[in-house]
């Protein structure tokens, strides 16, 4: 085994195996760094940036979910810069999508004092709900673009490649090939995407019908 | 071409099939050219033949602005609507277009700022256009506008046409390569290190160190890539070099390949730069025929060949790792770094990627010798540098100077000062991702160290000048629109932040700023700067933050 590296996280001495992420090293030391896009079973792509921390000597903040520990590293997880970025990212997210079924994000908003009304007149992403197959519905007004569904549908799990992205930037959406209805794609209805979706954007059709009062 | 006829597409795909997914962008370009858009059956065939999952074909088409799933009118015209062209009248021009049967794309900066307002009609670049009927001969064909104290990098430019291989060699071209082929690779790297050359693409990384990193890295193959994706608003230097001195760039790339031991290179050229693309493709063919490329470069046992690739309308693909993704046939999402390209670059292999101007310096260094090269410029910023001067000066153009001259010298002595009857208000330095300078900065010397001390980024060498008559709020809004349009959407701070920044600036430019707007703008700006994944988001608020400091009253709300 490689010799562990020594670092400090919030002034606490921490030792971790080389190749450990800052996020995991902190977790083992009892320090919680918040995450949104990160999922233990998906490739981490450092999308949400809620996990950013200050690392001495680094110009920008560093995403803890993908950055590795290094010898002598000094990490701070709750500085003013860090908290400003986290609060602002949460406020921007709340101004963009419907977070009503994302309790973990709502709890973070409370913790960071984020104001959901910070951006008056902000454009929301609000496409119509897609109900095109018997298994699940897709309500992308709740989608935070964490990429988990795309990844589990592709090389993180199922290798079916039924979904990918449409457009880019703020207007990005998850989509099938030329918006074909799900039964006309390579989807095998394994349900893994529904399982990893953190916001209720993907939901079993049965659960959705129950909520709508359309099923007893 | 009727979209039901897939036979011309099949002819193209047959040629590309062996490359698999790496041929996706070339295949989509071919389809877009054949059919005017990319309809579903065409996208399906491309995915089937190149073995790319259909949903991913869809994702790639949608990422790039030059590909479209919707049909367009026969004549597509791109009108630059960024600051300099807007100041020169592109809005008025756009109004007259709406009455004609053409599809109009408001394009991000077309890299023709010294000829503003500029457009592209059916692949033809046109400058100084005035409202009127659209034909390929509207306005003027842009001719390079060169100036400066020296002409080393631009020695073969200014003729308005490409320097052919024979002419290039007659003027001493490819002598550097001939010399290099007799040296061991590590000695070539040592020369480049000793010259003090740093990258001209914006990040100012020492070129010799980069080459050394890739030379030492292990990989079954290595690559060199020339970054000709120039799309930073206000930048046009790489276009001029590629259009008029293609072999100067190619020679630099071949030397880089020899130094690190790469046998394959790519020239990645911005999709809107049709002329640079054709010129570079001709130069590569000439070099192949002349034995400068191929199984035995100039009779040596070094094998090297180059593929010329077109971008497809995405500024972010100038970011090195996004550019690799584009060559690999993917959406141009920047990768998380580290690992860096020198160990994990194109196709995961050790790769050197350099800017066009950087590569043009390479043969120059090897012919002049390090001592003479370093006699130009300052101790910490040796050599010649190109500046793209545009906006409200008497003579906009591309200026070559040794590092260390003052901003005043560049603007007043070389570019003729502010246009008649006006005075200087502000200079945007370094491009859309840059910062503002004012009158008080005019005596700052143009070197990495002096500019850094003054808080000004050198960036890609942009010097965009605004006189007192210009509304800086409108300029900022245009920059913000550019970033919102070009954000790839991968990371949240930039994906949402560029949109919010634009919305707030829309309000401010329209005179309806809210009391909370300045604070929101600053917070969004700092969050993008601190927490974004790549350089695009990290600099998307740079000009806004500098304006907030210099002119807080511009942002006051009620
Ligand atoms: C958003 C973005 C756009 C960029 N565009 C370009 C470009 O058009 N040309 C370029 O050479 N470098 C560009 N860069 C910088 C490249 O990532 C890279 O640093 C450069 O090509 C390295 O070459 P150099 O060392 O010769 O400068 C861009 C970077 C970012 C973040
Ligand atoms: S649908 Fe759900 S899992 Fe998929 S990207 Fe959106 S939020 Fe993530
Ligand atoms: S900073 Fe912007 S362009 Fe760069 S990865 Fe993030 S969203 Fe994409
Ligand atoms: S959890 Fe690290 S970027 Fe999302």
pLDDT tens for B184-200 read 999 999 999 999 999 99
Digit-coded pLDDT (tens) for B387-436: 999 999 999 999 999 999 999 999 999 999 999 999 999 999 999 999 99
Cβ(B8)–Cβ(B34) below 8 Å: yes
- Among B315, B110, B125, B146, smallest CA distance to B241 is for B146
At residue B361 the predicted structure's pLDDT band, cuts being 50, 70 and 90, is very high
Task: Tell whether B86 and B214 lie within a shared domain.
Answer: no
Task: Tell whether B353 and B209 lie within a shared domain.
Answer: yes
Q: What is the crossing angle of helices B274-289 and B246-260, to 10°?
A: 60
Q: Which one-letter DSSP state was computed for residue B411? A: I
Q: Is B131 a domain residue?
A: no
Cβ(A116)–Cβ(A102) below 8 Å: no
User: What is the SS3 assignment for A74?
Assistant: strand
Q: Compute the residue count for chain A.
A: 216
DSSP string covering B361-402: HHHHHHHH-HHHHHTSB-SSSBSEEEEEEEESBSS-EEEEEE
Task: Tell whether B287 and B414 lie within a shared domain.
Answer: no
Cβ of residue A110 closer than 8 Å to a chain B Cβ:
no
**CATH for B539:** 1.20.1440.230
pLDDT for the residue numbered A90: 98
For residue A216, is pLDDT > 70? no
The Cα–Cα gap between B391 and B417 comes to 11
Task: Tell whether B341 and B441 lie within a shared domain.
Answer: no
Closest residue by CA, ligand 3 atom 1: B537
Residues of chain A above pLDDT 90, percent:
97
Sorted by where each begins, the domain ranges of chain A are 5-78, 80-124, 136-211
Task: Tell whether B452 and B402 lie within a shared domain.
Answer: yes
Digit-coded pLDDT (tens) for B49-65: 999 999 999 999 999 99
Average pLDDT of the residues of chain B: 95
The Cα–Cα gap between B255 and B176 comes to 8
Task: Tell whether B394 and B409 lie within a shared domain.
Answer: yes
Cβ of residue A63 closer than 8 Å to a chain B Cβ:
yes
For residue A48, is pLDDT > 80? yes
Looking at the CA of residue B231, tell me the nearest atom of ligand 1. Answer: 8
Task: Tell whether B218 and B103 lie within a shared domain.
Answer: no
User: What is the SS3 assignment for A182?
Assistant: helix
**CATH for B111:** 3.40.30.10
Digit-coded pLDDT (tens) for B292-338: 999 999 999 999 999 999 999 999 999 999 999 999 999 999 999 99
At residue B73 the predicted structure's pLDDT band, cuts being 50, 70 and 90, is confident
At residue A51 the predicted structure's pLDDT band, cuts being 50, 70 and 90, is very high
User: What is the SS3 assignment for B440?
Assistant: helix
| B128 upstream amide cis, omega within 30 of 0 | no
Cβ of residue A208 closer than 8 Å to a chain B Cβ:
no
Q: Is B258 a domain residue?
A: yes
Task: Give the mean pLDDT of A168-184.
Answer: 98
Closest residue by CA, ligand 1 atom 10: B201
Q: Percent helix, strand and coil across chain B, each rounded to 5?
A: 45, 15, 40
Task: Tell whether B57 and B153 lie within a shared domain.
Answer: no
Task: Tell whether B277 and B414 lie within a shared domain.
Answer: no
Digit-coded pLDDT (tens) for B87-107: 999 988 888 887 777 888 888
The Cα–Cα gap between B374 and B372 comes to 5
At residue B74 the predicted structure's pLDDT band, cuts being 50, 70 and 90, is confident
Q: Is B70 a domain residue?
A: no
Task: Tell whether B307 and B206 lie within a shared domain.
Answer: yes
Q: Do A48 and B488 touch (CB under 8 A)?
A: no
Tokens 């942002």 found at: B555
pLDDT for the residue numbered B81: 86
Domain span at residue B492 reads 472-555
Question: Does the reported pTM lie above 0.90?
Answer: yes
Q: Do A172 and B54 touch (CB under 8 A)?
A: no
Q: B-chain residues within 8 Å CB-CB of A123?
A: 499, 503
**CATH for B208:** 3.40.50.11540
pLDDT for the residue numbered A1: 59
Domain with residues A136-211, CATH architecture: 2-Layer Sandwich (3.30)
Digit-coded pLDDT (tens) for B213-260: 999 999 999 999 999 999 999 999 999 999 999 999 999 999 999 999
Q: Is B138 a domain residue?
A: no
Q: Do A178 and B69 touch (CB under 8 A)?
A: yes
Round the CA-based radius of gyration of chain B to a whole number and report it.
23
CATH topology of domain A5-78: Ubiquitin-like (UB roll) (3.10.20)
Residues of chain B above pLDDT 70, percent:
100
> Which ligand is closest to the CA of B492, given by its number?
3
**Count of domains for chain B:** 5
More confident residue, B122 or B401: B401
| Residue in A42, A46, A105 to alter for ligand 4 test, most ligand atoms within 8 A of Cβ | A46
At residue B4 the predicted structure's pLDDT band, cuts being 50, 70 and 90, is confident
At residue A129 the predicted structure's pLDDT band, cuts being 50, 70 and 90, is very high
Digit-coded pLDDT (tens) for B20-36: 999 999 999 999 999 99
Query: Which of A70, A178, A179, A187 to mutate to test binding with chain B, by most B CBs within 10 Å of its CB?
Result: A178
Cβ of residue A215 closer than 8 Å to a chain B Cβ:
no
């Amino acid at each position: 085994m490689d010799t562990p590296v020594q670092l400090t996280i919030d002034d606490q001495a921490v030792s971790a195996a080389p190749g450990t992420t800052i996020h995991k090293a902190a977790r083992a030391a009892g320090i919680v760094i918040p995450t949104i896009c990160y999922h233990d079973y998906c490739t981490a792509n450092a999308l949400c940036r809620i996990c950013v921390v200050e690392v001495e000597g680094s110009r920008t903040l560093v995403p803890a979910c993908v950055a590795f520990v290094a010898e002598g590293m000094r990490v701070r997880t709750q500085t003013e810069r860090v908290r400003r970025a986290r609060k602002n990212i949460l406020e921007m997210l709340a101004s963009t999508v419907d977070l009503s079924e994302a309790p973990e994000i709502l709890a973070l908003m409370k913790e960071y004092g984020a104001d959901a009304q910070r951006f008056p007149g902000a454009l929301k992403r609000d496409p119509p709900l897609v109900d095109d197959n018997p298994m699940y519905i897709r309500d992308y007004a709740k989608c935070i673009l964490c990429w988990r569904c795309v990844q589990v549908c592709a090389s993180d799990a199922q290798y079916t490649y039924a979904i990918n992205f449409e457009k880019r930037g703020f207007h990005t959406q998850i989509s099938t090939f030329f918006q074909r209805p799900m039964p006309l794609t390579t989807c095998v209805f394994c349900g893994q995407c529904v399982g990893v979706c953190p916001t209720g954007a993907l939901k079993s059709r049965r659960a959705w019908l129950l909520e709508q009062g359309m099923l007893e | 071409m009727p979209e039901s006829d897939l036979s011309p597409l099949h002819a193209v795909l047959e040629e590309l099939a062996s490359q698999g997914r790496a041929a996706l962008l070339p295949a989509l370009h071919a389809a877009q050219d054949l059919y005017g858009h990319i309809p579903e059956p065409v996208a399906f065939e491309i995915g089937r033949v190149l073995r790319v999952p259909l949903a991913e074909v869809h994702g790639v088409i949608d990422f790039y602005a030059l590909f479209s799933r919707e049909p367009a009118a026969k004549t597509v015209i791109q009108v630059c609507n960024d600051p300099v062209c807007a100041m020169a009248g592109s809005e008025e021009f756009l109004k007259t277009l709406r009455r004609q049967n053409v599809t109009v794309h408001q394009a991000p900066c077309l890299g023709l700022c010294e000829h503003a307002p500029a457009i592209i009609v059916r692949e033809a670049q046109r400058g100084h256009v005035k409202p009127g009927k659209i034909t390929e001969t509207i306005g003027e064909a842009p001719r390079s506008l060169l100036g400066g104290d020296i002409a080393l990098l631009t020695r073969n430019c200014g003729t308005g046409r490409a320097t052919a291989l024979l002419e290039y060699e007659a003027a001493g071209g490819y002598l550097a390569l001939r010399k290099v082929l007799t040296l061991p690779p590590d000695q070539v790297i040592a020369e480049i290190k000793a010259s003090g050359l740093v990258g001209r693409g914006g990040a100012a990384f020492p070129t010799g160190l980069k080459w050394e990193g890739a030379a030492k890295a292990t990989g079954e193959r290595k690559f060199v890539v020339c970054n000709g994706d120039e799309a930073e608003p206000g930048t046009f230097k790489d276009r001029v070099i590629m259009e008029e001195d293609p072999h100067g760039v190619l020679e630099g790339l071949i030397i880089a390949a020899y130094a690190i031991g790469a046998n394959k290179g790519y020239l990645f050229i911005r999709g809107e730069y049709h002329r640079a693309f054709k010129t570079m493709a001709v130069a590569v063919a000439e070099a192949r025929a002349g034995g400068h490329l191929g199984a035995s470069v100039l009779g040596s046992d070094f094998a090297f060949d180059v593929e010329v690739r077109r971008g497809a309308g995405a500024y972010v693909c100038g970011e090195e790792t996004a550019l690799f993704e584009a060559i690999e046939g993917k959406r141009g999402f920047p990768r998380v770094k580290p690992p860096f390209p020198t160990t994990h670059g194109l196709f995961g292999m050790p790769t050197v990627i350099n800017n066009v101007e950087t590569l043009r310096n390479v043969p120059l260094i090897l012919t002049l010798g390090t001592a003479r090269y370093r006699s130009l410029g300052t101790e910490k910023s040796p050599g010649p540098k190109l500046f793209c001067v545009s906006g409200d000066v008497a003579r906009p153009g591309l200026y070559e100077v040794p590092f260390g001259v003052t901003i005043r010298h560049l603007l007043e002595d070389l570019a003729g000062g502010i246009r008649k009857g006006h005075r200087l208000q502000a200079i945007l330095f370094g491009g859309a991702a840059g910062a503002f300078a004012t009158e008080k900065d005019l005596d700052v010397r143009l070197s990495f160290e002096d500019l850094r001390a003054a808080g000004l980024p050198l960036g890609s060498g942009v010097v965009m000048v605004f006189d007192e008559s210009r509304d800086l709020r409108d300029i900022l809004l245009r920059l913000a629109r550019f970033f919102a349009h070009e954000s790839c959407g991968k990371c949240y701070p930039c994906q949402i932040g560029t949109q919010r920044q634009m919305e707030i600036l829309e309000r401010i430019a329209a005179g309806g700023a809210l009391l909370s707007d300045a604070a929101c703008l600053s917070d969004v700006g700092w969050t993008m700067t601190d927490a974004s994944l790549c350089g695009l988001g990290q600099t998307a608020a740079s000009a806004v933050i500098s304006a907030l400091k210099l002119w807080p009253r511009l942002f006051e709300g009620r």
